[in-house]
Amino acid sequence: MFAATQTCSGSISRGRTMTITYCRRPQPLPKEQFMLEVRDLRAGYGKREIVHGVSMTVPTNGIATLLGHNGAGKSTLLGALIGKVNVMSGSVTFDGEDITSTSIADAVRRGIVLVPEKGRLFRNFTVERNLLLGGYTVKNPAELRRRIDEAVQVFPRVGERMKQLAGTLSGGERQMVAIARAMMLRPKLVLLEEPFLGLAPQVMQIVMDAIELLNKRYQTAFLVVEHNVCILNISSKAYVMKLGEFAISEDNPRSLLNDERLEQAYVG
């Protein structure tokens, strides 16, 4: 549902000049349904602990957002969820099963896909080949083609660039292909790292609309790491990280747009 109710300031840490003129109301979700549940997680590199005992949930079919200043530990936390970063203690439950200290391959097999910052496409492959590689476990060619067609419905621009080398795409197009590629496996949970990074407002809006559409159409849950607070408009849960801990945990993310605690968590 769309609601032209208030404006939304842009990135807190990278300037506050952007204005988005409408907001949406996230659908309320039953509180006890979690796709991902993290309990007292400590994680880091070698003996250096970066994430200091955080607990969080990503609602089933929901969009959770993780905000926080540079170096707060957001990427480290994401990495710990999928076996990229060492978990020191605590637990991670995904879709009702314990996956603490899982491997990346196991996380993918279970339906968790990471879209890293800037998408990390295969630059020397066409857009089409990137999408085909994204669906590498889909053995039925007709099904694979159907999924590409559905990706083009969500991102018409991706359809226009199908034969173009990924390395020649614009930043926005790259982000669209990266998300489309992640969706090829119809994951249960997508971990999205800074999807709005460097995007113009209109392109950012296209990407945000697509996240919301994919979430609704495929019941895919998203955990989005962002600096741009506009993501709060489509979020059903939000966390703000500071120095490896959560300074804020919020069930009504839009309320943070007018909440001094958000700015405090960044600069205080």
Ligand X SMILES: Nc1ncnc2c1ncn2[C@@H]1O[C@H](COP(=O)(O)OP(=O)(O)OP(=O)(O)O)[C@@H](O)[C@H]1O
Q: How many residues interact with ligand X (rule CB under 6 A)?
A: 10
The single residue among 23, 74, 237, 266 that binds ligand X, judged by CB under 6 A, is: 74
CA 161 to chain centre: 23
The single residue among 71, 156, 167, 268 that binds ligand X, judged by CB under 6 A, is: 71
User: Number of C-alpha atoms within 13 angstroms, CB side, residue 244?
Assistant: 13
Please give the Cα distance from 135 to 112 (Å, whole number).
14
Q: Does 73 bind ligand X (CB under 6 A)?
A: yes
Beta-carbon neighbour count of residue 195 at 10 Å? 26
In whole angstroms, the minimum distance from the beta carbon of 4 to ligand X comes to 31
The single residue among 12, 20, 41, 50 that binds ligand X, judged by CB under 6 A, is: 50
Choices 67-75, 163-171, 216-224, 260-268 (CB under 6 A): range interacting with ligand X: 67-75
Choices 72-80, 118-126, 134-142, 198-206 (CB under 6 A): range interacting with ligand X: 72-80
Three-state secondary structure along 233-246? HHCCEEEEEECCEE
Q: Does 174 bind ligand X (CB under 6 A)?
A: no
Residue 106, helix vs strand vs coil: helix
**Would you call 128 exposed, middle or buried from its count of C-beta atoms within 10 A (0-12, 13-18, 19+)?**
middle
In whole angstroms, the minimum distance from the beta carbon of 165 to ligand X comes to 27
* Closest among 164, 137, 132 to 147, alpha carbons compared: 132
In whole angstroms, the minimum distance from the beta carbon of 50 to ligand X comes to 4
Q: Does 258 bind ligand X (CB under 6 A)?
A: no
Interacting residues toward ligand X by CB under 6 A = 45, 50, 68, 70-76
